[in-house]
Amino acid sequence: MSKKVIIVGGVAGGASAATRLRRLDERAEIIIIERDEYISYANCGLPYYIGGTIQERSKLLVQTPEMMKKRSRIDVRVNSEAVKINTLDRIVTIQQNGQETYEENYDFLILSPGAKPIRPSLEGIDHPRILSLRNIPDTDRLKSMVDLDTVKTVTVIGGGFIGVEMAEVLTERGLKVTLVEAAPHILAPFDDDVVPIAEKEMQDHGIRLLLGDPVAKFGSADDNTVEITLKSGYTHQADLVVLAIGVAPDTAFLQDSGIKLGPKGHILVNEHLQTNCDGVYAVGDAIEISDWVTRIQTAVPLAGPANKQGRIAADHIAGLPSRYAGAQGTSILKIFGLTAASTGSNERTLRRLGIPYHAALVHPGSHAGYYPGAEPLTLKLIYDDQGKVLGAQGFGYDGVDKRIDVLATVIRLKGTIHDLTELELAYAPPYSSAKDPVNMAGFVAQNDLNGMSPLIHLTDIHDRDPESTMLLDVRSPQEYATGHISEAVNIPLDELRERIQELDSSKKLLVYCQVGFRGYTAVRILRQQGFDVANLTGGYKYYKAASFTPDKYV
Amino acid sequence: MSKKVIIVGGVAGGASAATRLRRLDERAEIIIIERDEYISYANCGLPYYIGGTIQERSKLLVQTPEMMKKRSRIDVRVNSEAVKINTLDRIVTIQQNGQETYEENYDFLILSPGAKPIRPSLEGIDHPRILSLRNIPDTDRLKSMVDLDTVKTVTVIGGGFIGVEMAEVLTERGLKVTLVEAAPHILAPFDDDVVPIAEKEMQDHGIRLLLGDPVAKFGSADDNTVEITLKSGYTHQADLVVLAIGVAPDTAFLQDSGIKLGPKGHILVNEHLQTNCDGVYAVGDAIEISDWVTRIQTAVPLAGPANKQGRIAADHIAGLPSRYAGAQGTSILKIFGLTAASTGSNERTLRRLGIPYHAALVHPGSHAGYYPGAEPLTLKLIYDDQGKVLGAQGFGYDGVDKRIDVLATVIRLKGTIHDLTELELAYAPPYSSAKDPVNMAGFVAQNDLNGMSPLIHLTDIHDRDPESTMLLDVRSPQEYATGHISEAVNIPLDELRERIQELDSSKKLLVYCQVGFRGYTAVRILRQQGFDVANLTGGYKYYKAASFTPDKYV
């Protein structure tokens, strides 16, 4: 007997599930219920269409209902909303075009309703020029607004991925953009010490960043201008507001279904992506999954996991034993020329969960320095006492995606910093160095863990006790003169052996150089002379980058 | 008591060993004996300096003897050749400037003599315009020759990495280049079915390829012209010949030392890189190491392994338990806009060793197709019956290095094709797709191994029995019309279900499409109807690319 499978939501996870299921089962009856007019569109491409990088709207439409019907015999019903699920009798109530409803029974149900932009109940939130971005109609609305000659200033509320991407693409279109973020920093997947690299890139391209200052209320001078008042009391106006403060699972329709939801409304599933109700699966942005690194329950509203989950739910319905093993939150974004990418856990998460960790920072070149076009990149590596890699964050103008993908792979395969030192990655001068940045990060972490060159961090510098510590800058006098950490003594590395008597052996020496490499050599020299000494990971470059704060309210 | 360590050879492995050892041991006496005038130069950059991409010669000199002395207190003796090793008494005989010799005793000896270009004893080989490339003096000679206005045509003998890179850089300088290769194809790390992609790139840029035709002899019209006669009898002239037919370990000086050498003269070492003689280590291009995938003894003359080995030998001398676990031969090169990269074992090697394997080919885009600038890439994945990844090869204009690095990491961590399907790689439209090319390769391989969509290969097409098989092209009639495999019947995928009666169920169906994806869907439809059917991996695009043969003797 053929199965009847209803899929609620025809984007990412839902579309993947449908086509996979058809390949597994020619006879299944497969119905996609999609609230909007469009299915399987290029969700992650929407900002780039608004910004003009993607010029043809048709390119956003990866699959049409007609294509799905023709090739995969899938019954796609757009403008159709699942309004109620009866999990006992296995019936979905569907509302078509917002009007009449009808019922459809199922053998299996895959829920892929996604997540919707959060719209807080702030004063003035209903101003017609406060828009969010989720789907194609939102995109059309935003684009038609941005296309107006009269729209010259935009305020983006929220410094997550969508907010930052929108700020970037609108700036590239020539608009004057302000980005407001309630937290002290944008882009929560990144730690506070490295994310200023991204913030500086944004300011350097003319975006004004108002950080650590939530919106208090909106007002309107007129229909075409929004007035934004922040909690600090600072007020400014914009011709358009893009609201991107985050997403919430779009699961209100499940409330009386008996399907278990998490504290924030996410659908709870097991490793086969089955809910607590027989025959009901769930995938994508609306579900809670297990974090690959910490094994904590979390939500990872990203396209990669959604697509993989769709495939796995289809497999399981077709009788294959596929499992979803958890998400590590690998993510990446382009900010003008800069790439920012991360994978696994960051310090903030690990601290919150009380999981001990270490962190190392390196600034190697994207490829051999003697070959033209090498760009410095910043790689932050987080690992535990046993050397297991827990997370990584990268910033730079070339080759960041590659290194984060390698580190994401190591995290997936439960590798260690020792593995990083042994990875044999592709080297020719246009592509890398004989010791790849990932190898280098491994070496630094290994030297840290085995005590050969213990690392210190910004907090160790900021919180140091001047009585018991001495800060030693081993760069050249020229470098020292152009900027150094206050109270640091300058002894260039190449003079260190001769001038060792200038050091106070009763104090702990905190060494730094520009990027960390000379500091490492200095530590090795000094440790062998019996000094208690450690090296600032990432060096002065890291210190300097971390201390960037945007020009506010200018 | 301080150790006295002599290092023979101051490039890559030797230089790495010296600086690492100093960081581990401030008191050790460290002497580098280097035959040439230069140490620690950018070996892999030499072709790019000759070609003009790297403009300043000084950039090739990564470290000078003075820098090494100043920072690391290493006694670097250039123009000094180790002519004899007495391993019983631990004495090296050193010849300075090709004249006087002296002796130096050691506690530890690290041999890093490298490999030298092979110079076959062919008639006419001593012509002054037949040059090889190994070191800085060779580079200077070649560059001064190439700089001559009268040098307009160059023949490169040998299609290995150096030969291909030289052919590329000299073409980019405006010279007319011919490349001669004795084997049927260039670039032995790649299989015959995919390496034509690189060969076509070279021909498209004006390089003439003479493959499968070894040099028989050289002659000279005059001092400024070399005549090259191939085994086929074909003769042509060139203003310059670059000889790059491979390298041999430069270990003649070890012959009476008691240090065990392999059949081709490579130094034999254990996992700590120790030779059979007490206190003697060896690293770099001159040693035999274990292949990571096959565990067969082999030589991998590449900079990455050399540098890592130097570090490990230094570690072990300093008392750390570091081991070298083997090399997987990850390599990459730029051929004009094309990147060609490989890691692990190829089909040729596995066939030779009698190791069973499977292969899958995919042609995904480098990033989301709807975002500008996506380039198709070709990824070949090799795996065993259990799904363990054995090797990979990639070609393309963007993002090939990233995917090969991810696959190199999987191979290092002993991952499987199932792991590939689960890797959570960084996705945003400018960087990748929600299902990365590496995920895609994993899916295809998984569908192959679990029988959902068995793959066939070019040999299955070429060797097929027309009586018992039927070749089915599921592309559109337009695609079919512009080129197809002879005897293939065309039924477009979207008509397949309706026209299934046109197929002969008594025959095995060999299906293909353009890149393999529609073929996969067709296989799924047909298998569920009871047909014996398999899909040509990589599709017609692969068939077409593999059948490229260069225009010879034009």
- For B387-408, how does the pLDDT look when each residue is reduced to its tens digit (9 = 90+)? 999 999 999 999 999 999 999 9
Q: Looking at beta carbons, which residues of chain A come within 8 Å of B365?
A: none
DSSP state of A237: E
Nearest CA in chain B to A518: B71
Q: What is the pLDDT of residues B338-373, one digit of tens each?
A: 999 999 999 999 999 999 999 999 999 999 999 999
Report yes or no for ipTM above 0.90. yes
- Following DSSP, what letter does each residue of B541-552 receive, concatenated? HHHHHHT-----
How far is it, in rounded angstroms, from Cα A326 to Cα A373?
38
Q: Does domain A337-449 have CATH number 3.50.50.60?
A: yes
Closest Cα in chain B, distance from residue A371 (Å): 6
Of all residues in chain B, what percent carry a pLDDT higher than 70?
100
Q: Across chain B, what does the average pLDDT equal?
A: 96
Q: Looking at beta carbons, which residues of chain A come within 8 Å of B498?
A: none
Q: Do B409 and A413 touch (CB under 8 A)?
A: yes
Helix (H) or strand (E) holding A108: strand A108-111
DSSP state of A5: E
Q: Residue A345 phi/psi, 5° resolution?
A: -90, 145
Residue closest to B399 by CA, chosen among B372, B443, B432, B368 = B432
Superfamily of domain B4-115+248-317: FAD/NAD(P)-binding domain (3.50.50.60)
Tokens matching residue A30 = 């497969």
Q: Residue A65 phi/psi, 5° resolution?
A: -55, -35
Number of Cβ within a 10 Å radius of residue A137: 11
Q: Name the pairing type of β-strands A469-473 and B4-8.
A: unpaired
Residue closest to B46 by CA, chosen among B37, B59, B35, B33 = B59
Tokens matching residue A92 = 């979905």
Q: Is B75 exposed, middle or buried (0-12, 13-18, 19+ CB in 10 A)?
A: middle
Q: Is A275 exposed, middle or buried (0-12, 13-18, 19+ CB in 10 A)?
A: buried
How far is it, in rounded angstroms, from Cα A93 to Cα A82?
6
Q: Looking at beta carbons, which residues of chain A come within 8 Å of B432?
A: 401
Q: Domain residues of chain A, as ranges?
A: 4-42+53-115+248-317, 130-245, 337-449, 458-536
Superfamily of domain A458-536: Rhodanese-like domain (3.40.250.10)
Q: Is B327 exposed, middle or buried (0-12, 13-18, 19+ CB in 10 A)?
A: buried
**Closest Cβ opposite residue B368 in set A45, A368, A421:** A45
CB pairs below 8 Å between A and B: how many? 232
Residue closest to B473 by CA, chosen among B516, B530, B443 = B516
Q: Do A307 and B434 touch (CB under 8 A)?
A: yes
Torsion, CA A144, CA A336, CA A536, CA A390, rounded to 10:
60
Tokens matching residue B516 = 């393999």
Of all residues in chain B, what percent carry a pLDDT higher than 90?
97
Give the relative orientation of helices A400-412 and B400-412 as an angle to the nearest 10 degrees: 20
Q: Do domains B4-115+248-317 and B458-536 have the same CATH topology?
A: no
CA B144 to chain CA mean position, Å: 28
- Cβ-contact A185, A192 below 8 angstroms: yes
Tokens matching residue B15 = 């230089």
Tokens matching residue A514 = 């520009």
- Cβ-contact A95, A83 below 8 angstroms: yes
Can you give the pLDDT at residue A187?
A: 98
Q: Looking at beta carbons, which residues of chain B come within 8 Å of A405?
A: 402, 405-406, 425-426, 436
DSSP state of A233: S
Q: What is the pLDDT of residues A43-58, one digit of tens each?
A: 999 999 999 999 999 9
At a CB cut-off of 8 Å and minimum separation 6, what does A462 contact? none
pTM beyond 0.90, yes or no:
yes
Q: Do B328 and A413 touch (CB under 8 A)?
A: no
**3-class state of residue B408 by DSSP:** helix
Helix (H) or strand (E) holding A380: strand A377-383
How far is it, in rounded angstroms, from Cα A11 to Cα A114?
8
For A316-375, list the strands marked E by DSSP.
331-335, 338-344, 358-362
CA B208 to chain CA mean position, Å: 21
- Following DSSP, what letter does each residue of B90-111 receive, concatenated? TEEEEEETTS-EEEEE-SEEEE
Can you give the pLDDT at residue A554?
A: 67
**Closest Cβ opposite residue A48 in set B53, B307, B371:** B371
Give the relative orientation of helices A196-204 and A539-546 as an angle to the nearest 10 degrees: 70
A15 phi-psi bin (left φ>0, alpha ψ -120 to 50, beta other)? alpha
CA–CA distances in Å: residue A204 to residues A169, A335, A337, A363, B212? 15, 11, 11, 20, 56
DSSP state of A297: E
Q: Do A434 and B44 touch (CB under 8 A)?
A: yes
Residue closest to B81 by CA, chosen among B104, B62, B56 = B104
Closest Cα in chain B, distance from residue A244 (Å): 17
At a CB cut-off of 8 Å and minimum separation 6, what does B234 contact? B210, B213, B553
Q: Do B54 and A371 touch (CB under 8 A)?
A: yes
Can you give the pLDDT at residue B554?
A: 66
Closest Cα in chain A, distance from residue B175 (Å): 22
Beta bridge partners of B179: B156, B209
Residue closest to A179 by CA, chosen among A196, A192, A165, A195 = A165
Active site residues of A: 44
Residue closest to B241 by CA, chosen among B147, B123, B333, B133 = B133
DSSP state of B2: -
Which residue in the list B44, B122, B182, B525 is annotated as catalytic?
B44
What is chain B's alpha carbon radius of gyration, rounded to the nearest angstrom? 26
Q: Do A524 and B26 touch (CB under 8 A)?
A: yes
Closest Cα in chain A, distance from residue B447 (Å): 11
Closest Cα in chain A, distance from residue B421 (Å): 8
**One CATH from 3.40.50.20, 3.40.50.970, 3.50.50.60, 3.40.50.300 for B130-245:** 3.50.50.60
DSSP state of B292: T
Torsion, CA A540, CA A543, CA A545, CA A551, rounded to 10:
-130
Q: Is B23 exposed, middle or buried (0-12, 13-18, 19+ CB in 10 A)?
A: buried
How far is it, in rounded angstroms, from Cα B5 to Cα B18?
9
In sequence order, which ranges of A6-64 are alpha helices (DSSP H)? 12-24, 46-51
Mean pLDDT to the nearest integer, B142-146: 96
Q: Which of B25, B331, B427 has the most A C-beta neighbours within 10 Å, making it the best mutation to test the interface with A?
A: B427
How far is it, in rounded angstroms, from Cα A437 to Cα B106?
34
Tell me the residue type at B405: D
Q: Residue A221 phi/psi, 5° resolution?
A: -65, -45
Which residue has tokens 């050969």? A452
Q: Looking at beta carbons, which residues of chain B come within 8 Å of A369?
A: 59
**Closest Cβ opposite residue A427 in set B304, B434, B524:** B304
Mean pLDDT to the nearest integer, B144-162: 96
DSSP state of A279: T
Q: Looking at beta carbons, which residues of chain B come within 8 Å of A452?
A: 23-24
Count of alpha carbons within 13 angstroms of residue A159, beta-carbon side: 28
- Cβ-contact B165, B47 below 8 angstroms: yes
Q: Looking at beta carbons, which residues of chain B come within 8 Å of A422?
A: 308, 325, 412
Fold of the domain built from segment(s) A4-42+53-115+248-317:
FAD/NAD(P)-binding domain (3.50.50)
How far is it, in rounded angstroms, from Cα A424 to Cα A422?
6
Can you give the pLDDT at residue B217?
A: 98
Mean pLDDT to the nearest integer, B459-473: 96
How far is it, in rounded angstroms, from Cα B333 to Cα A56?
35
Can you give the pLDDT at residue A356?
A: 98
Can you give the pLDDT at residue B553?
A: 75
Tokens matching residue A125 = 């939130």
How far is it, in rounded angstroms, from Cα A312 to Cα A307?
9
What is chain A's alpha carbon radius of gyration, rounded to the nearest angstrom? 26
Mean pLDDT to the nearest integer, B143-152: 96
How far is it, in rounded angstroms, from Cα A162 to Cα B427?
14
Can you give the pLDDT at residue B62?
A: 87
**Closest Cβ opposite residue B371 in set A45, A372, A434:** A45
Q: Do B331 and A429 touch (CB under 8 A)?
A: no
Q: Do B434 and A333 touch (CB under 8 A)?
A: no
Q: Do A424 and B408 touch (CB under 8 A)?
A: yes
Beta bridge partners of A178: A155, A208
Q: Do B308 and A493 touch (CB under 8 A)?
A: no
- Cβ-contact A90, A106 below 8 angstroms: yes
- Following DSSP, what letter does each residue of B313-360 receive, concatenated? HHHHHTT-------B---EEEEETTEEEEEEE--HHHHHHHT---EEE
How far is it, in rounded angstroms, from Cα A133 to Cα A251?
18
Q: What is the pLDDT of residues A109-146, one digit of tens each?
A: 999 999 999 999 999 999 999 999 999 999 999 999 99
**Closest Cβ opposite residue B413 in set A12, A72, A415:** A415
How far is it, in rounded angstroms, from Cα A167 to Cα A181?
12
At a CB cut-off of 8 Å and minimum separation 6, what does A443 contact? A421, A435
pLDDT string in tens for chain A (554-residue length): 799 999 999 999 999 999 999 999 999 999 999 999 999 899 999 999 999 999 999 999 988 999 999 999 999 999 999 999 999 999 999 999 989 999 999 999 999 999 999 999 999 999 999 999 999 999 999 999 999 999 999 999 999 999 999 999 999 999 999 999 999 999 999 999 999 999 999 999 999 999 999 999 999 878 899 999 999 999 999 999 999 999 999 999 999 999 999 999 999 999 999 999 999 999 999 999 999 999 999 999 999 999 999 999 999 999 999 999 999 999 999 999 999 999 999 999 999 999 999 999 999 999 999 999 999 999 999 999 999 999 999 999 999 999 999 999 999 999 999 999 999 999 999 999 999 999 999 999 999 999 999 999 999 999 999 999 999 999 999 999 999 999 999 999 999 999 999 999 999 999 999 999 999 999 999 999 999 999 999 999 999 999 999 998 76
Which residue has tokens 């269409």? A49
How far is it, in rounded angstroms, from Cα A509 to Cα A505?
8
Closest Cα in chain B, distance from residue A307 (Å): 7
Q: What is the pLDDT of residues A462-475, one digit of tens each?
A: 999 999 999 999 99
Q: Do B42 and A370 touch (CB under 8 A)?
A: yes
